[in-house]
Amino acid sequence: MCRVLILDDNPLYAETLQLILQEEAETYSEIVTCAEDAIEKVTQAVRRGKPYEVLLIDQRLGAGKDGIQVFEELRAISPNSDGILFTGYDDPESGLRAYEAGAFRYLPKTANNREILFVFRALRQWRKEQREHKWQKIFSEMMEASIREQEFHAAAREIVQRSLKLGFARAHLFWVPTGREANQQGLLLGIRCAGEGRIPDFGSRLFPLGEWIDLDLLQPGRFSLSLREAELECVAASMRAHGYQPPLGEVTLLPLFSGERLLGVLMLDYGNTNKFLSEHERGWLEFYARQVSLALEHAALYSQEKKNSREHTAANRIGQEINAEATHRTVEQILEDVRDRIGSVFFHIENFTALLIEEEHGTPQVRLKYRKGKKCTSPRGLRANRLETWFLAHGEPLLLSENITDFARHHRIRLLGELPASWMGIPLRVNGKLIGGLILQSFRQKRLFTKRDLHFLTLIADQVAGAIQNCRSAERERREMERLDVLSRAGFEMLQVARENEGNLWKTALTLATARFGVGFNRAMLFLLVERTSLIGQAGIGTDDKEKAQRDWEHDEQQNYTFSNFLSDLRTRRLKLTDFDTLVQTIEIPLKNRQDAFAHVMQSGNILQLDSVQARTQLPPELTAKITPTACAVLPLFTSKGKVEGVVLVDNKHNRKPILERDLNRLQTVLNYAGLIWETLREREKSENLLNANQEIMSRSGRENLKDTLSLICNAALGLSEADWCIIYPFIEHSQPLAFDVENISYAGELLLSMDTLIKHHPRRGGITMHILSKNCLYFEDVYAPHARLGRKRIGEHSFIQREKVRAMIGMSIRDAFSGAPLGVFYLNFREPRRFSERDIQHAQSFASLAAFAIANTRRMDEQKHRRRLDAALQTAEAINAAVSLDEMLQNVQERLHRFFHETTLCILSYDEEEQALKFAPGALEFYKITNPKYRRVQTFPLAGHSIACAVARKTLHSGQIETLNVPNVHERPEYLGLILETQSELCASLVSTNHQLLGVLALERRELAGFDTDDEALVKTVAQQLSLGFERFKQEQEISFNKTIAAYNAWASDMAHEINEQAGNIQGWAYLIQEHATNHPEIQKYARDIEQSAQTLLLASPRSDQGRTLLALDTALQKFADRICKQKEISLQFSCNAAGVLVQANPLYFERILRHLIRNAERAMRDCDNKQIILRTQVLDENTVEIQIQDFGPGIPDKIRPLLFQTNVTTKGGGGNGLLITRQLVEEMNGRIRLLPPGTQKGATFSIKLPIYKVPTQEETSNELVTTG
């Protein structure tokens, strides 16, 4: 409908125009006669949303504004209106103004009706073309923008924005759900909206468009649907409830199709404008709808491809992460990880089930199950006719939503409990083989699974199936190895528990039959033969209660219950017994005239398997009356004699696993072990020694001497065989011809004669021993029987047979199990004839094998010990020989020993004879870290003090030999010092010179009790011997070096003495002549006397003066000499006299030289000190010895140099270094000793000189001397 407003102050002409326009279809016109009315009319039309399309205006309107001015004002109010102006005059200028104002045409009023209609129609056509052009442009822009954006939501945004440019006030784009809400009828998903008054929170919400319109009306052939006033009134409440305020005018819905499939709906309206679409506009919108459909379909495909790519990437990532950990984790851990990673993407995993098909028997098992977010502990088996079993049977992806009941009814599937709203199952396949499946369930209508979910879960399942299978394989291999390890231990462990309690033997055997670490049956029962007439129930494991069994299994798995845990519980009586333990013991089954399964196994000795039907009919009624029968197997219990002494019944009642032949064979092996042990237990008195021997010999061999071990074997053999005596003759290793190892010959029993008569050094040629070696086994039930011969000689004629009155015997060769070399012979001797059973021979063979093991093992251990000691000796010798100094030798040796003795703290202590103390050898503290703060600064250990090393040193001082002391627990020894807090055991060996003098101690400590054995003790003694030689060698080298240095100095001193004496004599002669010629010059004579005295002093002070030793009052001489020297050196002297009246014999000049050298060294050491001070002390040590101490306050002597003082030329001044060596020589010539005292708390160095005290002879001693010499 074209709305026209006619403005003319001439009503007649206006009505004429109205009549003319009536000929034009779909035209509605109104007349106003003044500008004010026109402005009001146009304003109201615009407000109503129905503006006038055409304005017909007279150019002359009387007084006031003309028509052109009014037209401009009306266009400002209604910009989309076009105008035609009329004039009564031919006024070109007004026409130009009209066109400039935007008029479509300027006509004279004289124009006829045809011309007016022509122009009016031309205007309408032009407006139509302009609008079509505008919409086409908007359509093109929309297509370009949506294609450019590509992403679905970005394209949707462009579409709703462009829709507003078509003149609509609001645009809402709805989409048919394809995700979890796809199955909810009548609901469409909000995608994008635009315009003022649009629905808030529109995106991703579901809207009930099915309530607003009949969606069935949206057909591919119908491209638009309008809701007007009546329709809107019916659905207004629902619209407002979802945030949509109905417009004043109509609502236009454009269905968006892809072929026959509805994609969505674009809803357009004019908001508060009461406007309606024309049919022409509706046609254009239908075209617009097709373009929008294409654009959104294209964007949806792009987004879907992108989503697919993301899903593939996510699935690949999940697969890679799961695969990376597959072989190091359990199946449950892998499945938990799979569940968590699925949930981290977008799936709802509150209800998750993982099923795996057991490879051995093909039955599906629930390996992981969550119900409403909680982990379930339901039975692992699956029942028949369930949805899960149907899904696994078909092995294809399955998605069920809202039709679960119909599906179950159609396929005859039983549904129990609460039904899910949606159910999804994905098979797990590896190389096409079905290994299980993953199942997700949703119990909420708003969380229905979609095909998209199914597809994505399939991608994940394909990625993780291999990881799960790898994990299962690795887990199966681990469990198989653990199971085989347990079964391999079974014989030994059952032997141990059987020694404690026979009942524990059967508990252990049945536990190995039922436990997850064993064979793994559900239930097991043991029946033993009693008096060959009936089977009595002895033990049972299991229950008829399936839930209880499941709880027990899960508890064991959660606690990781192992065979070791079981043995611990068994021995500590904490083992929890099952229902069958007491129930089975109430069952007694007679065997007479029976044809049931138990009787069959007892007679045939073969394993018998029964299915469920056979179990009900063939098992003894005494058993089925108390225990629910099911598919089972009956196994025989053999003894070593091959007799069946009982049966064991096993089944898998609760988990329904098939009974595999492999498992039965493994269990039969366990039962064979148990039968053998049980038979041995029934002869407990005879077999006790054999059990002890097996255990003790295997554990003690190599740790005890061979003779003790062989004696143990002899005693065990004697107790078991009931022989009168037995003897083992070991051979000397590698002896040719064979020779007996006399020291290790062992026997047990009562001999008629002494053992010496049986000891031989070589087996006699042609004797019994050589025959035993040739045949390996030789036995005689009666040595005097006619056939009892060895060659031509009867057995009874052999000397030892006759001497010991042997009537029966068994002889076994003892051979190395690997090389077959003869190691010895073993004899069992009886003084009465005896019939030997096969078991007697086997027992003898067993003892011979034990003896072979003991001999061979001892030899191997001895060889290893010898090699270890030799290696230690060689390494120690190598370290000693490679060194060029004592320090280097000690460092090398300690490094080698530290590598040789692992996890051991060690050190070397040297012996200071003068101090009667042990000291850390150079470099010792690098390997020996003192951790006890109390002893951090201790360096010296007086021999009289507390220390295990000092105890060893004291023993050596007494014996003169290398002594060792092995202390298993140092805390039990009162002399233990405890330098290292963590030490538990200690081994010390003394170091001794070839002339039996103590050199030091080698100490080793470990942080464990009894850390050192006898082998370590022997090894350390070997190292101590080598180390002693090294110590002595370097001490000798030091002494030789000292003597060479002193000899060289003495030779030089002799030369110097000759020169000095000659020149000093000349000076004395010249001084004498000066005195003779200067008798009148007293002053000159005085100078000459001084010169003569100086020459005399020079003669006395020459390097080797001939002045003899005299008696010196020690304190007086020291004070005199030291005071003069210190004054020359400007050193403060503090003198502490404690030797008043003590006399010493000394050359005064040498005595002064000793002091001068020591004080000069002190002065040089204190050259950087502000206060140079020396303390000189004397003290009487005993009636024969006096000590002089000279202490300075310099920086002290470095630890590295201290051991070298008085041994070699040492200096810190860059040259010389012989002063202390000469000082030592001078002191020793006085029968004294000089040494450097250990550093104390004060700075500086302290030297000690010990001199013998001169004793003034008594009158009686003098008289005796005169008589003697006279």
List, for residues 1206-1223, the tens digit of each pLDDT value.
666 666 554 445 677 778
Q: To the nearest 5 percent, what fractions of the chain are helix, strand and coil? A: 50, 20, 30
Alpha-carbon torsion (452, 455, 461, 462), positive or negative: negative
The three-state secondary structure class of 102 is coil
Provide the 10 A C-beta neighbour count for residue 479: 14
Among 3.90.1150.10, 3.40.50.11540, 3.40.50.20, 3.30.450.40, name the CATH number for the domain at 866-1027: 3.30.450.40
Residue 1061 has pLDDT above 80, yes or no: no
Lowest mean pLDDT of 220-229, 790-799, 1036-1045, name the range. Answer: 1036-1045
Res 1105: pLDDT: 47
182: confidence class by pLDDT, cuts 50, 70, 90: very low
Residue 1100 has pLDDT above 80, yes or no: no
Domain(s) of CATH 3.40.50.2300: residues in the chain: 2-111
Average pLDDT over residues 279-303: 75
Domain(s) of CATH 3.30.565.10: residues in the chain: 1107-1252
Average pLDDT over residues 369-394: 80
Residue 1082 has pLDDT above 60, yes or no: yes
- Summarised one tens digit per residue, pLDDT across range 553-585 is 888 888 888 888 888 888 888 888 888 888 999
Lowest mean pLDDT of 184-193, 477-486, 834-843, 949-958, name the range. Answer: 477-486
Domain(s) of CATH 3.30.450.40: residues in the chain: 134-308, 325-476, 501-574+581-589+600-606+619-682, 686-864, 866-1027
Enclosing H/E stretch for 780: strand 777-780
Residue pair 719/688 in contact (Cβ under 8 Å)? The answer is yes
Average pLDDT over residues 652-672: 88
Residue 313 has pLDDT above 80, yes or no: no
Backbone φ, ψ for residue 230 (5° rounding): -65, -45
Lowest mean pLDDT of 175-179, 575-579, 606-610, 811-815, name the range. Answer: 175-179
Res 883: pLDDT: 60
End-to-end C-alpha distance for the chain, whole angstroms: 176
Average pLDDT over residues 811-835: 88
Among 3.30.390.10, 3.30.565.10, 1.10.3720.10, 3.30.450.40, name the CATH number for the domain at 1107-1252: 3.30.565.10
274: confidence class by pLDDT, cuts 50, 70, 90: confident
Lowest mean pLDDT of 163-177, 190-204, 412-426, 672-686, name the range. Answer: 672-686
Res 740: pLDDT: 86
Class of domain 134-308: alpha beta
Rounded Cα distance, 175 and 160, in Å: 13
C-alpha pair distances (Å), 306 with each of 39, 157, 318, 341 = 57, 19, 18, 21
C-alpha pair distances (Å), 310 with each of 88, 337, 448, 556 = 76, 20, 22, 42
Res 181: pLDDT: 47
702: confidence class by pLDDT, cuts 50, 70, 90: low
Choice between 102 and 596, residue whose per-residue pLDDT is larger: 596
Taking domain 501-574+581-589+600-606+619-682, whether its CATH number is 1.10.4080.10 is answered by no
Average pLDDT over residues 86-93: 73
Share of the chain above pLDDT 90, in %: 12
Which residue is listed with tokens 């197997």? 633
Task: Give the range with max mean pLDDT: 851-855, 1068-1072, 1175-1179.
Answer: 1175-1179
Rounded Cα distance, 57 and 67, in Å: 6
Q: For residue 721, with 0-12 CB atoms within 10 Å meaning exposed, 13-18 middle and 19 or more buried, which class applies?
A: buried
Rounded Cα distance, 73 and 858, in Å: 127
Res 892: pLDDT: 78
Rounded Cα distance, 506 and 525, in Å: 10
637: confidence class by pLDDT, cuts 50, 70, 90: very high
CATH H superfamily, domain 325-476? GAF domain (3.30.450.40)
Residue 646 has pLDDT above 90, yes or no: yes
Q: What type of residue sits at position 612?
A: S
Average pLDDT over residues 22-46: 84
Res 457: pLDDT: 86
Q: What type of residue sits at position 255?
A: P
1266: confidence class by pLDDT, cuts 50, 70, 90: very low
Q: What type of residue sits at position 1214?
A: G
Average pLDDT over residues 279-289: 75
Instruction: Compute CA 1037 distance to the chain's CA centroid, rounded to the nearest angstrom.
Output: 55
Q: What type of residue sits at position 891?
A: Q
pTM across the whole model:
0.38
Res 1218: pLDDT: 65
User: Minimal CA–CA distance to 811: which of 868, 855, 773, 760?
Assistant: 773
Residue pair 557/515 in contact (Cβ under 8 Å)? The answer is no
Res 1265: pLDDT: 45
Average pLDDT over residues 923-927: 81
Choice between 1149 and 814, residue whose per-residue pLDDT is larger: 814
Alpha-carbon torsion (774, 777, 779, 785), positive or negative: negative
User: Minimal CA–CA distance to 422: which of 438, 447, 407, 401?
Assistant: 401
- Summarised one tens digit per residue, pLDDT across range 944-1003 is 888 899 999 999 999 999 999 999 999 988 888 889 989 999 999 999 988 888 999 999
Res 987: pLDDT: 92
User: Minimal CA–CA distance to 660: which of 434, 362, 393?
Assistant: 362
Q: For residue 1028, with 0-12 CB atoms within 10 Å meaning exposed, 13-18 middle and 19 or more buried, which class applies?
A: buried
Domain 2-111, architecture per CATH: 3-Layer(aba) Sandwich (3.40)
The overall average pLDDT reported for the chain is 81
Structure tokens at 1028: 């002693």
Task: Give the range with max mean pLDDT: 151-160, 693-702, 875-884.
Answer: 151-160
Domain 686-864, architecture per CATH: 2-Layer Sandwich (3.30)
Share of the chain above pLDDT 70, in %: 85
Res 879: pLDDT: 66
Close Cβ partners of 1127 (under 8 Å, ≥ 6 residues apart): none
Backbone φ, ψ for residue 78 (5° rounding): -125, 85
Res 1270: pLDDT: 37
Structure tokens at 518: 């064993």
Alpha-carbon torsion (125, 127, 128, 129), positive or negative: positive
